[in-house]
Amino acid sequence: MHLITFSHLRWNFVYQRPQHLMSRFAKIFTTYYVEECFYSEQQDGYSTIATPEAVTIVQLHLNGLPGNKEEEDERCMKILHDFFHDQEIHNYIFWYYTPMAMAFTHNFHPALVVYDCMDELAAFKFASPSLKKMEEQLLAKADIVFTGGQSLFEAKRHLHSNIYPFPSSIDKDHFGAARNSAAQPTDQFNIPHPRLGFFGVIDERFDIDLIKNAADLRPDWQFVLIGPVVKIDPASLPQKANIHYLGSKTYTELPAYISGWDIALIPFALNESTQFISPTKTPEYLAAGKPVIATAIRDVVAPYAENGLVRIVANAVELVHEASEELAYKDKNLWLSSVDAFLAPVSWDATWNSMVQLMQYAQDEKQILLIKKNAEDVRLFGSGSRTGRVRVSRKVGEQS
């Protein structure tokens, strides 16, 4: 069995949900990760890259510059067929992170179709106008749907009969290393304390004004921001002596940076693009043993804030107030015990195992329905009904 994943995210962009799950699927399936096509001077075709996790990245490249979308989808479809032929792929599962891939995969016949709806992509900046239509087609074709959080599940549950919420999970051992790490990365070593840190993509979801205003209120506090800047003008970011942009870091490097923070931040704006997000960094920060201050993202409020694990703020004044209280709160053992108890059953392994089980149920149900349909066809064919019935005569070529 082959698992073919279609994603809007480059594998090497930020290590998150797709990488965690596909790395585990690679242990039981031959797993391919198909990225969005890109344009080059090469002839239409594909290239592959093997990852250390045993996932094969498939890059579709089109010759020339962007042009007619329908024509490009047809070209991508041909490239994908060539890839399937070359790799002798016949028995396969399709796993979608982007509905846009439906445009060049609709004529394939996978054994199972999974839609892992990680985000409400239609609400993101520069989303394709046809994304909603493509999602409708994908939901019609999908055998099972997962969502990246509870709020997204509530928004989508009426659209499919076999849908399940899977909020962001955690590699506790990886981030737990931050609790005992002593050595500090070179570019963070000389930044004074207290340090309030953030890692993740800095884009239209990031509340720039919240960080700027908090930095103005407390010039003696240091704000450490880690991650790529995308879809927004870097010039729009506040430039202050106590705001430090350290750029992108690898997944492996993150615990060392977090270990040097006093407080971890989730400073997302409350807008259309954040309405249904479930930030993976919430449990990652907590596993690292860092107090968390966040804006009122629904999937952070419930369950994290409701369980007393995260502080919620609405503006810079509240952020400074809550951070001041947190910095003065020296004995965190009781809070850490609550964090560890809450995170105890949470892991990417557990998430993956549950998904595999549900996929097996969906596959079994699909087979049962197919058997029933075939049995019904046989019954109708042999029932004596003349509708659509062909009786072969003993005389060759004679039919009635």
Write the DSSP assignment of 197-210 as a string of letters.
EEES-BSTTB-HHH
In contact, 311 and 335? CB cutoff 8 Å: no
What's the CA gap between 110 and 93, in Å, rounded? 5
SS (H, E, C) 5-25: EEECCCCCCCCCHHHHHHHHH
Q: Which residue, chain included where needed, has tokens 């690679």?
A: 26
Q: Which residue, chain included where needed, has tokens 């003008």?
A: 233
Residues 6+ apart with CB under 8 A from 236: 208
The closest alpha carbon to 300, from 325, 323, 330, 270, belongs to 270
pLDDT 10s digits, 188-200: 999 999 999 999 9
- Provide the pLDDT for residue 378: 61
- Provide the pLDDT for residue 66: 83
User: Is the whole-model pTM more than 0.85?
Assistant: yes
In the three-class reduction of DSSP (H, G, I as helix; E, B as strand; rest coil), residue 171 is classed as: coil
What's the CA gap between 6 and 36, in Å, rounded? 8
How would you write the pLDDT of the chain (400 residues) with one tens digit per residue?
999 999 999 999 999 999 999 999 999 999 999 999 989 888 999 999 999 999 999 999 999 888 888 999 999 999 999 999 999 999 999 999 999 999 999 999 999 999 999 999 888 877 788 899 999 999 999 999 999 999 999 999 999 999 999 998 999 999 999 999 778 999 999 999 999 999 999 999 999 999 999 999 999 999 999 999 999 999 999 999 999 999 999 999 999 999 999 999 999 999 999 999 999 999 999 999 999 999 999 999 999 999 999 999 999 999 999 999 999 998 999 999 999 999 999 999 999 999 999 999 999 988 887 777 777 766 665 544 433 333 332 233 333 2
Please report, as a single letter, which amino acid is at residue 327.
Answer: L
- Provide the pLDDT for residue 379: 63
What's the CA gap between 374 and 382, in Å, rounded? 12
DSSP alpha helix (H) spans, 240-390: 254-259, 281-287, 298-301, 316-328, 333-343, 348-381
Q: Which residue, chain included where needed, has tokens 């409400």?
A: 120
In contact, 82 and 63? CB cutoff 8 Å: no
- Provide the pLDDT for residue 32: 98
Residue 254 in tokens = 């993150």
What's the CA gap between 119 and 16, in Å, rounded? 12
Spatial strand order of the sheet with 292-294 comes to: 243-247, 222-226, 195-199, 263-266, 292-294, 310-312
| Residue 62 main-chain phi, psi, to 5 deg | -110, 140
- Provide the pLDDT for residue 330: 85
